[in-house]
Structure 1
Amino acid sequence: MPSSRRLQVLGLALTGALAAVTLTACSGLEYREYVCNDGEYPVLQVNGTGSACQQDGTEPPAGYARHPEGKVPEQVDDKWDVYWRTHTLDENGRIIDAP
């Protein structure tokens, strides 16, 4: 086989292998967006469905509260992010259905 033909075959083989690796690798990955950035934690609007991110080491602003322990959303659309769309805290810290 002439050398130019060998290079064509090798190029096609490498292109095919690269495509297969790329498609296989991408299909197993899922992008997940975090609710807050590093150095922040999520807070919940009292008696409402609003939320915000608060800087670590600071208290939530007036009208907001920390999520109950073990019920803190970490990623968009995770179990607790979805839950807090239909629930909130009242002024006494009790979990209630969102208005």
Structure 2
Amino acid sequence: MPGRARRRWAGAGPALVAVVVSLTAGGCSSSDAICGDDEYSALFMGSTAHTCVPRGQEPPEGYRRYPAGTEPKREGDEWDRYWSKHSLDEQGRLLS
């Protein structure tokens, strides 16, 4: 019987590989949203870390809003790349 089981699954290899490739290729891309539609991104002061905050709420302690017009919207966008190398201090001054 072992030979029979091998034959039944022998043709599944290429099909299984195709399924795995298609699932992983559709995973995260460089255009994924940083936060949900009902959230905004806030920067952890003195760091490049950020969190998502529900719209209408203030950022948690230690976080602040990005300066107007510089909030990253999608992973890998201009502002996401910029803020991955910069931060703000407690007074909102730019840190490099």
Residues matched between the structures, number: 68
% identity of equivalent residues: 41
1:73 partner amino acid: P
Say if 1:96 and 1:55 are closer, same or farther in 2 by CA, change over 3 A. Answer: same
2:51 partner amino acid: A
Work out the CA distance in 1 between the residues paired with 2:60 and 2:94: 19
1:60 CA drift (Å): 0.2
Say if 1:49 and 1:38 are closer, same or farther in 2 by CA, change over 3 A. Answer: same
**What are the equivalent positions in structure 2 for 1:34-53 lying under 5 Å apart?**
34-53=33-52
The residue that corresponds to 1:56 in the other structure is 55
1:36 CA drift (Å): 0.3
Q: Name structure 1 gaps, 5 residues minimum.
A: 1-29
Alignment root-mean-square deviation, CA: 1.3
1:81 CA drift (Å): 0.2
1:31 CA drift (Å): 6.8
Q: Which runs of 4+ in 1 moved over 3 A?
A: none
The residue that corresponds to 1:19 in the other structure is none
Rg comparison, structure with higher value = 1
Work out the CA distance in 1 between the residues paired with 2:54 and 2:32: 18
Q: Is the 2:40–2:54 Cα contact (8 Å) retained in structure 1?
A: yes
Work out the CA distance in 2 between the residues paired with 1:80 and 1:31: 13
SS at match of 1:42: strand
The residue that corresponds to 2:94 in the other structure is 95
1:92 CA drift (Å): 0.5
The residue that corresponds to 2:32 in the other structure is 33
Higher mean displacement: 57-66 or 31-40: 31-40
